[in-house]
Amino acid sequence: MIGAENLVRALLAGGVEVCFANPGTSEMHFLAALDRVSGMRCVLGLFEGVVTGAADGYARMLDRPACTLLHLGPGLANGLSNLHNAMRAHSPVVNIIGDHATYHRRHDAPLTSDIEGAARPFSHWVRTSENAASAALDGMAAVAAALSAPGRIASLILPADTAWTEVPEERLPPAPLATPRARPADAAIDAAARLLLSSEPTAIVLAGSATRAEALEFAGQIAVKTGAKLLAQTHTARLSRGAGRVPVDRIPYPVDQALAALAGFKNLILVGAKAPVAFFAYPDKPSELSPPGAHIHTLARAEHDIPYALAALAHAVKADKVPVPVGGFEPADRPTGAITPEKLATLIAATLPDHAIVVDESITTGRAFLPLTGAARPHEWLLGTGGSIGYAMPVSIGAAIACPDRKVVTLESDGSGLYMPQALWTQARQNLNILTLIFANRKYQILRNEMQNVGVSNVGPVASALLDIDKPAIDWVGLARSFGVEAFRAETMDELGRRIDAGLAMTGPCLIEVVL
């Protein structure tokens, strides 16, 4: 048995059942091991960002890691930006990064680089597996690191000779399980209860597992009982929404709107969230968004047992028997005529299938989507967490593989979708049930807004040419079809409605270019 086989056995024993891969020569023995030890589903990406983004999406839906397979330093580098998002989403991910054989490194062959150094800024845990005898234990340690609360990025570097050297079949230790999550101290719960019962205006800011259905139930009881306002952190990994779910508003992205949403609260109770801060600094706007003088209290951090914390708080404020009124599915009439962001939101709300997974990177086009889709059928809404652009199409792949019985709807702006369009090929190859809407305004609209926000009122021709992506306009239908994904263009709401119906009815991926 070679080291790579022991490693694959360890990953499988640790519950890692999917490998998103873009391999090279140094990973060939790991590939061979994937055939010798059965049980790992392997999914090829044409680019490493597709691979790491898919692992993020998988983890967001299942709370356990997939592994990635990446080729030395540059292969890892291509996957780092989506690992940044995964870190911020608290997604457990195990990266397997091939390296030169240990004895070959000193020759500084062209593909040599400081892999540990490259991994560290985007990983919580980094280790090089220095010999085949330790491969299994290193793999187990990586899985355990990934599963440690609230979900972490573990990067295991696998030199080629660690992978290929013959060793005895390792007796695997017991599989690591997700670390039982610590409960916040009673004092934190009592203090939160006192704030809620103080009759001062209080907001509960939710993120991480606090924006999942189970936790939201308790949060809803607390809100009903105490009058507290529920707010989702602007960037939370996954928000349970729609009919039957406790509604929660998201703190808006634009600073002025965020300040308005938070104005007047005397207390902010943080549950898996951080004190609200501006995404970017602007010359004349604050970095901290909490109202001046507001008391900020942490009920639970991301790594805590958040459902427990909210249940205990509900009990402490005597809300645990309170019924929470939730809405049903209320589709508005399908909008017709010219396409507008608000009509798009209404159509999305009307058409989302039961338990759909929405992956949202709609940026400026989608500002109205969350406010106007609360009455859709029950669904999960995945958001960008780290601000690294191009995450949605890769994350959709992982979500679709994690949940083959659900429909994934990707809401993608054209600028963002162009970072990793190769993701469409993996969607086609795996025949994934992903409907992608591309909002084609043919510019980086957010940057045109930001120019104003940072005080640049007259955008000159040089800057302007860096903010538009027309000339030539990108043909998304042709692009998707070139990767084997069925695609259509819609220029009216009527046309779009028909295309969405057809796209949702089919098996496999479909893309609609929504021309704005």
Segment 101 to 140, residues that bind a second copy, using CB under 8 A: 101, 103-104, 107-111, 113-114, 117-118, 120-122
Interacting residue with a second copy among 164, 369, 381, 488 (CB under 8 A): 164
Residue 197 tokens read as: 């019962």
* Residue 281 sits in the site that holds a second copy (CB under 8 A): yes
**CB neighbours (10 Å) of residue 133?**
16
The CB-of-402 to a second copy minimum distance in angstroms stands at 19
Locate the DSSP E strands across 45-101.
67-71, 93-99
Count of residues that bind a second copy according to CB under 8 A:
103
* Residue 34 sits in the site that holds a second copy (CB under 8 A): yes
The CB-of-375 to a second copy minimum distance in angstroms stands at 28
* Residue 388 sits in the site that holds a second copy (CB under 8 A): yes
CA distance 445 to 451: 10
Interacting residue with a second copy among 56, 63, 138, 161 (CB under 8 A): 161
* Residue 205 sits in the site that holds a second copy (CB under 8 A): no
Interacting residue with a second copy among 1, 17, 46, 167 (CB under 8 A): 46
421 DSSP 8-state letter: T
| Residues in region 412-431 near a second copy by CB under 8 A | 415, 418-422, 425, 428-429
Query: Amino acid identity, residue 48?
Result: E
* Residue 466 sits in the site that holds a second copy (CB under 8 A): yes
Question: Beta strands 41-44 and 67-71: pairing type?
Answer: unpaired
Stretch that binds a second copy, among 237-245, 272-280, 306-314, 364-372 (CB under 8 A): 272-280
Contacts for 469-473 with beta carbons within 8 Å, 24 or more apart?
A: 469/414, 469/415, 469/418, 469/442, 469/443, 469/444, 470/442, 470/443, 473/440, 473/442
The CB-of-232 to a second copy minimum distance in angstroms stands at 14
Q: Would you say 227 or 280 has its CB closer to a second copy?
A: 280
CA distance 66 to 56: 8
The CB-of-96 to a second copy minimum distance in angstroms stands at 13
| Residues in region 224-253 near a second copy by CB under 8 A | 235
Q: Would you say 208 or 335 has its CB closer to a second copy?
A: 208
Sheet of 238-241: strand order equals 238-241, 379-383, 356-361, 408-413, 434-440, 510-515, 486-490
The CB-of-49 to a second copy minimum distance in angstroms stands at 7
Interacting residue with a second copy among 1, 15, 17, 28 (CB under 8 A): 28
The CB-of-57 to a second copy minimum distance in angstroms stands at 17
Interacting residue with a second copy among 78, 290, 433, 441 (CB under 8 A): 78
Interacting residue with a second copy among 186, 190, 280, 491 (CB under 8 A): 280
3 state SS of 323: coil
* Residue 218 sits in the site that holds a second copy (CB under 8 A): no
| Residues in region 307-346 near a second copy by CB under 8 A | none
190, 154 Cβ separation under 8 angstroms: no
The CB-of-46 to a second copy minimum distance in angstroms stands at 4
* Residue 169 sits in the site that holds a second copy (CB under 8 A): no
Q: DSSP per residue over 484-513, as a string?
A: T-EEEEE-SHHHHHHHHHHHHHSSS-EEEE
Nearest to 362 by CA among 438, 474, 427, 257: 438
| Residues in region 348-377 near a second copy by CB under 8 A | none
* Residue 292 sits in the site that holds a second copy (CB under 8 A): no
CA distance 127 to 205: 35
CA distance 116 to 512: 41
Interacting residue with a second copy among 124, 183, 274, 297 (CB under 8 A): 274
* Residue 57 sits in the site that holds a second copy (CB under 8 A): no
CA atoms within 13 A on the CB side of 120: 5
3 state SS of 267: strand
CA atoms within 13 A on the CB side of 217: 11
Nearest to 63 by CA among 86, 40, 44, 97: 86
Bridge-partner residues for 232, per DSSP?
Answer: 206, 250
Stretch that binds a second copy, among 23-31, 196-204, 337-345, 363-371 (CB under 8 A): 23-31
Query: Amino acid identity, residue 93?
Result: V
Interacting residue with a second copy among 260, 465, 505, 506 (CB under 8 A): 465
* Residue 1 sits in the site that holds a second copy (CB under 8 A): no
Stretch that binds a second copy, among 25-33, 54-62, 150-158, 397-405 (CB under 8 A): 25-33
Interacting residue with a second copy among 32, 167, 213, 502 (CB under 8 A): 32
Interacting residue with a second copy among 338, 473, 505, 506 (CB under 8 A): 473
Interacting residue with a second copy among 29, 60, 241, 406 (CB under 8 A): 29
**CB neighbours (10 Å) of residue 63?**
18
